[in-house]
A and B are shown apart, each in its own frame.
Chain A
């Protein structure tokens, strides 16, 4: 999707953070977080509720400005160059970012128009995740698992270079998890920032581990250097 003018060099990291911090009023949600994620690699982000994971994801998506440090995503320094990364990241958050009164197909066709993607791509994705039979039903009538499948279609519709995934398999049954794996799993290709509360599954999917505790970096290491116990310790 990205044009030659906006694509970072092939060896450029997908994400490079240096001392990134973010506060909501008096409350500091993220403090001095630094890491570099190579292109095509996956970082699993672990941390208890309120550790700063969602804030980190929203900064990487360009939806929140960092209050400290430098965030570079796909070669674009945020927030000044955030426009260069727009349309190159795919965000799958807790909120599906779908209009409840529109059908799955209407939602995806709308997003396809925003991203300049053919509507046929949306239809193909719907079929791929097993939603074809419900594609013309309003999103509000779908189960959580089906809504999650539709949200995954939306997130990958434009073939992003960086996937920002917040518990992507939440609410999915085993069949659903298998159906979406080619789209958001390791084999999908793009770099991934993967928030998970399932330590085993997160470690199996990742190349690097970022552990957050109260907004600070508690773990940053290659996946082989981190034990399951260390990850679980973040939730203690």
Chain B
């Protein structure tokens, strides 16, 4: 299975490098929304709950763009059929696609989070960076798992651009709550408060539950 996952990831990265369909769109969306908030809220800086909410809702909506594109090449260029003809574990596609979406999210955040800090926060986030990194990675894992599951489901429909967010966003509400609650103390005005570890636990539990669920049902989504 490791070879198959590696082959699928490599193929998806080659496709993204050629087409630039996902990461640039997700990145442009995130930065544009931060710019809109910067001017729309008419404040010099955000802090606490509001800052965390803006960050996570923006990242989540950017992730939906990636989910929408995740399986398009498989659907439109016969990737599903070719994969199903091969003597490989079908779950490899789930693992590979989730890893790719996770990678895309991390790549986007490498630019989008500094842009968020620059446009919407007061200086001083640096001291909370390790904690913020932990929140980002746990939340990204949840988004990647659910996004892969919903992406595979939605791409089979004609209205995938509508279906995928309609299914994914409600499922990802716990991620937004957990991530925003965990992030809010880190973005307090005048310096970061302590991270509430229980919210990291909530995110980790979400990742584990949906990871197992997706692993169990993904095979059936590839059936006709």
Is A48 an interface residue when CB atoms closer than 8 A count as contact?
Answer: no
User: Could you say which interface size class chain A belongs to?
Assistant: 20 to 34
Within 8 A of B (CB), among A89-133: 89, 91, 93, 95-102, 106, 110-111, 113-116
Is B133 an interface residue when CB atoms closer than 8 A count as contact?
Answer: no
Q: Quick check: B19 and A115 within 8 Å, CB to CB?
A: no
Is B14 an interface residue when CB atoms closer than 8 A count as contact?
Answer: yes
Instruction: Look across to chain A and name the residue whose beta carbon is closest to the beta carbon of B88.
Output: A114
Q: Quick check: B84 and A62 within 8 Å, CB to CB?
A: yes
Tell me how far the C-beta of B158 lies from the nearest C-beta in chain A, rounded to whole angstroms: 15
B78 partner, pick from A83, A97, A114, beta carbons under 8 A = A97
Q: Quick check: A65 and B224 within 8 Å, CB to CB?
A: yes
Tell me how far the C-beta of B70 lies from the nearest C-beta in chain A, rounded to whole angstroms: 14
Tell me how far the C-beta of B49 lies from the nearest C-beta in chain A, rounded to whole angstroms: 43
Is B130 an interface residue when CB atoms closer than 8 A count as contact?
Answer: no
> Which residues on the B side are within 8 Å of A65 (C-beta)?
223-224
Is B24 an interface residue when CB atoms closer than 8 A count as contact?
Answer: no
Using an 8 Å CB-CB cutoff, how does the interface string of B186-218 with A read, 1 for contact, 0 for none?
000000000000000000000000000000000
A86–B79 alpha-carbon span in the complex (Å)? 15
Q: Quick check: A115 and B4 within 8 Å, CB to CB?
A: no
Is A154 an interface residue when CB atoms closer than 8 A count as contact?
Answer: yes
Instruction: Look across to chain B and name the residue whose beta carbon is closest to the beta carbon of A3.
Output: B87
Is B41 an interface residue when CB atoms closer than 8 A count as contact?
Answer: no
> Which residues on the A side are within 8 Å of B224 (C-beta)?
63-65
Tell me how far the C-beta of B22 lies from the nearest C-beta in chain A, rounded to whole angstroms: 13
Is A61 an interface residue when CB atoms closer than 8 A count as contact?
Answer: yes
Q: Quick check: A102 and B85 within 8 Å, CB to CB?
A: no
Is B110 an interface residue when CB atoms closer than 8 A count as contact?
Answer: no
> Which residues on the A side are within 8 Å of B81 (C-beta)?
61, 63, 91, 93, 95, 97
- With contacts A64-B224, A65-B224, A97-B78 known, is A113 near B85, CB below 8 A? no
Tell me how far the C-beta of A213 lies from the nearest C-beta in chain B, rounded to whole angstroms: 25
> Which residues on the A side are within 8 Å of B18 (C-beta)?
101-102, 138
A64–B224 alpha-carbon span in the complex (Å)? 6
Instruction: Look across to chain B and name the residue whose beta carbon is closest to the beta carbon of A65.
Output: B224
Instruction: Look across to chain B and name the residue whose beta carbon is closest to the beta carbon of A101.
Output: B18
Q: How many residues of B contact A (CB 8 A)?
A: 24
Residue from the set A89, A91, A99 with the largest chain B CB neighbour count within 10 Å: A99
A198–B14 alpha-carbon span in the complex (Å)? 39
B15 partner, pick from A95, A99, A113, beta carbons under 8 A = A99
Tell me how far the C-beta of A126 lies from the nearest C-beta in chain B, rounded to whole angstroms: 17
Instruction: Look across to chain B and name the residue whose beta carbon is closest to the beta carbon of A84.
Output: B87
A113 partner, pick from B3, B14, B73, B223, beta carbons under 8 A = B3
> Which residues on the B side are within 8 Å of A100 (C-beta)?
77
Within 8 A of B (CB), among A52-70: 61-65
Q: Quick check: A98 and B7 within 8 Å, CB to CB?
A: no
- With contacts A63-B224, A113-B3, A113-B7 known, is A98 near B86, CB below 8 A? no
Residues of A within 8 A of B (CB): 61-65, 83, 86-89, 91, 93, 95-102, 106, 110-111, 113-116, 138, 154
Residues of B within 8 A of A (CB): 3-4, 6-7, 10-11, 14-15, 18-19, 73, 77-79, 81-88, 223-224
A to B CB contacts below 8 Å, 18 in the list: A63-B81, A63-B84, A93-B81, A95-B78, A97-B77, A97-B78, A99-B15, A99-B77, A100-B77, A101-B18, A101-B73, A102-B14, A102-B15, A110-B7, A113-B6, A114-B4, A114-B7, A116-B87
- Known pairs A99-B73, A115-B87; list 18 more (Cβ under 8 Å): A63-B224, A64-B224, A86-B88, A87-B85, A93-B78, A95-B81, A97-B78, A97-B79, A97-B81, A97-B82, A98-B78, A99-B79, A101-B18, A110-B10, A113-B7, A114-B4, A114-B82, A114-B88
